[in-house]
Structure 1
Amino acid sequence: MNILKKILSVTISCLLYTALTFGQTSKIDSTNTRLVRINPDKASGTTVSQLFDEVKFIPLETTKESVFGKISKLDFVDNHFIIFDADTYSVLIFTNNGKFTGKIDAGKMAKQNDVNDLTTKFGGFKIVKVLGENLIQIEKGNYDLYFNLNANFVKKQPATKRLENSPSSITNSDYAYKLNWVDKSDKEDLVYKIAFFKKDSIYAKFLPLNSIKHRGDYLPNGNRENSDNFQSRYFITNDYALDIFEVRPPGLQLAYKISMPIKNVLPKNFMEDPKYFGYLKRNNFFKENPDVIYALRNISQFYDQLWFQLSSSKETRSFIYNLKTNGFFNIKNIEPDQLSSYLPITDEGATFNFANYGILLHKDQYIYNSIPSLAMFIFKDQNTNKQVIYPEALDNYFKTENRKSNPVIVQLRPKQN
């Protein structure tokens, strides 16, 4: 009887993954989990044309009004790029060829908003469809403000009550979600990585962390947890772990478990042993163990290509794993070729935009990231010994712009095999 109980226990454990099962933490489906074995130090190089069918560089027009720093959020709708720059708190609009068409900033919003709301800050934008037209919605003060793709004001309406833990809606779903959700009914002071709601009531919650026990020793993994209507497969990761979860409302599936050499892996008792608690202790541990990976972040999947980043105390590296061939590539070592006009497809090795933000958008068959002009001109200078014929738009960009100009959007179409 005891043997039977043990067999049942092992079987159930294999089928369902539960992280720190406090309270009513929901179970995670792990029936189709795939183990991915990698060695970060032995990732291969390859060429751009081996991974992509199409590469296009789209310079964004630089004018006195359109100049900005970096792309904090990107969307593409009705042949227009919609960009949020968190440094200047502005939304900028460009055509699919990079021509500037309009800007929404604090001054434009102040004319439509409460006179008492003098703040310049806001958290980004959403694309919503109103009477068949795609509009830019911005939550500001007491109102939701709506603008068209020419940055012209359309309407405002009183904002729905914005609660600290109000969930975000999920397109084509009866559920809403909240990241890093605090369940105030819990006595254990737990913060859940993700929770699902149905009709404003909690439905399921996953991946708890004791906020009191680990107060002060939390190192954020920097993951761009941005579902944006779940237009593609959406993944999240847990802190200090090498598991990749796919969000499938109203649940999670343990999609991939990353296996690495022992020198790259945290101690098994890292989250439980007090000798690792506290920021100073953890900081010292990572300094003494620079090869240990503390964050798995910015996960995306395009066909058979699994993209992700690994962070240690000494660096953040970006990789692509081919789920069909088991090929493992360091993005920094992807060699430019004729398909990319002998230019790299990210800014790795020159600046840190891709290391910080990763892929900005996946829409239809394309993925998008951006390269600062500083890096673009560094890469161009590295091509002086090559007879490169750049596409017209890119050639004109190099002739008329400089290292302080707007970023360049890179549009990539990954191979499907």
Structure 2
Amino acid sequence: MNLFAQRDAREIRIDPDRPMGSAVGRIFGVVRYISLETTKESTLGRVDKLYVTDSLFIILDYATNNVFLFRKDGKFHAKINGGPKPEYGGIKFLNIDRQRKTIMFKDARNGIKMYDFDGNLLPDLKKDRNFEYFHTLRDSVTLYYSLNYDYRKDKKDSLDYELKFYRGDSLSGRAFSYRNYNKTIRNDDLITGSEGVFFETGNDSTVHFIRTYRYQVYTVSRDSVSDVYRFVFPRERSLPQDFLSNPAYYGNRAKYVLSTGAKAIFSILYFYKVKNLAFFRLQTVDKPRKQSYSFVYNLDTQMLYAVDHIAPDPSNFYLPIGTSNGFPTANFVTHGFLTTDGNAIYAAASSQEMFAAKDMAAEKNLTYSDDLREYFERNTIKSNPVIIQMIPK
């Protein structure tokens, strides 16, 4: 059963080279900094992936190939050791089942490991289906994504689907058909990364989904797929309209993106919606120093803000939300916004960046909140990163 339902997606027409600036306090009503406890067991390098549950922050750190679980007050709870990180690979994303309170990920051998929220290993899952990414919704519905143009297969191969829905072990739906074998597009035409294709909405009944080389944002539920937003960029920043259908690009799409079309936006990442704001990252190959990466778009006023143009102010004690001392933080250069719980958007900053921002604002004689005062008294530049929770106005 094909679950995709075409609808009139809302158009987001923007020029990423002409964003607005703002102050933190004009966009966010609340900005909180949650210090993550630093112990020998809990020390991490960077918050590469963040998942928020009712009681936990679940963090993936690429450098250590570990998963860290902290309580919402920042106290260390548990650690999942992903094992020695291979030269290529390691844990790239997590699948969080909030209903069953489990954490799943593909290991270096492509097997699925499953742990509970206390970090205990559970029996391995036996999955014989091939997929690149997966995401679990409520009521044991799991979405599996795979796009595999195996042009060496027999020409008689039939239709396949990018997105498949399983309820338990039973296939319950699918969406976005394609032919494995064709003379239009093949596997090495695709540029993919570790960011994934699923981005959380703040509830476990739906998830946002973004397809390769496309400017649409879809909402996927347990039994439907609908396109909800469609980005429109200036021509010079867009892929050709026939980029996916024209056989002339066969075997040359990656080369086009990496050279001729280096200014073209080829991927939308980290798309989250909170209240009337959309948060997202645009990916291009050409990255001049002054080019912005992450954006905030007001769906009511149609104003586009670049995160590196949002200036800290007294409302957040001149501390980072995505930039520190005028430069993007390490997390934002790589990731941008990390997730949403439906009420707030989340990011992270290193303690080094936090202390640097504090020093820069020393002459302002700020009176910090109790939590921040305790953080600066008990920590150093080598302490764990902080989680930044931002609630839009």
Report TM bin, short chain.
Answer: 0.7 to 0.9
Following superposition, the deviation at residue 407 of structure 1 comes to: 0.9
Q: Is the 8 A contact 2:198 2:209 kept in 1?
A: no
Paired AA for residue 93 in structure 1: L
Report sequence identity in percent.
27
Residue in 2 aligned with 1:246? Answer: 219
Q: Is the 8 A contact 2:50 2:58 kept in 1?
A: yes
The 5 Å alignment of 1:4-403 reads 26=2, 28-77=4-53, 79-105=55-81, 124=94, 126=96, 144-146=114-116, 148=118, 153=120, 158-165=123-130, 170-173=136-139, 175-180=141-146, 187=156, 192-198=161-167, 200-201=170-171, 203-206=173-176, 208=178, 213-220=185-192, 223-226=195-198, 230-231=203-204, 234-273=207-246, 276-278=249-251, 282-283=254-255, 286-315=258-287, 317-347=293-323, 349-403=327-381
Q: CA RMSD in A?
A: 3.7
Gaps of at least 5 residues in structure 2 are 84-89
Counterpart Cα distance in 2 of 1:253 and 1:401? 46
TM-score, structure 2 as length reference? 0.79
Counterpart Cα distance in 1 of 2:159 and 2:331? 33
SS in structure 2 of the partner of residue 394 of structure 1: helix
Counterpart Cα distance in 2 of 1:301 and 1:186? 42
Q: Is the 8 A contact 2:280 2:337 kept in 1?
A: no
Structure number having the greater helix percentage:
1
Q: Is the 8 A contact 1:30 1:255 kept in 2?
A: no
SS in structure 1 of the partner of residue 301 of structure 2: coil
Gaps of at least 5 residues in structure 1 are 1-23, 108-120
Cα offsets for 1:12-58 (capped at 9, x unmatched)? xxxxxxxxxxxx9x474332311111111111111212221111011
Counterpart Cα distance in 1 of 2:69 and 2:194? 27
Paired AA for residue 126 in structure 2: K
Aligned residues: 370
Q: Is the 8 A contact 2:35 2:384 kept in 1?
A: yes
Q: Is the 8 A contact 2:134 2:142 kept in 1?
A: yes
Following superposition, the deviation at residue 234 of structure 1 comes to: 2.1
SS in structure 2 of the partner of residue 268 of structure 1: coil
Cα offsets for 1:240-276 (capped at 9, x unmatched)? 2212222133332111111121111112232344554
SS in structure 2 of the partner of residue 339 of structure 1: helix
Paired AA for residue 313 in structure 1: V
Following superposition, the deviation at residue 400 of structure 1 comes to: 4.3
Counterpart Cα distance in 1 of 2:62 and 2:143? 23
**For residues 314 and 139 of structure 1, do their structure 2 counterparts lie closer, same or farther at Cα, with a shift above 3 Å needed?**
closer
Q: Is the 8 A contact 2:197 2:211 kept in 1?
A: no
Q: Is the 8 A contact 2:104 2:113 kept in 1?
A: no
Counterpart Cα distance in 1 of 2:162 and 2:336? 21
Counterpart Cα distance in 1 of 2:214 and 2:241? 10
Task: Answer with 228-237 or 401-410: which moved more.
Answer: 228-237
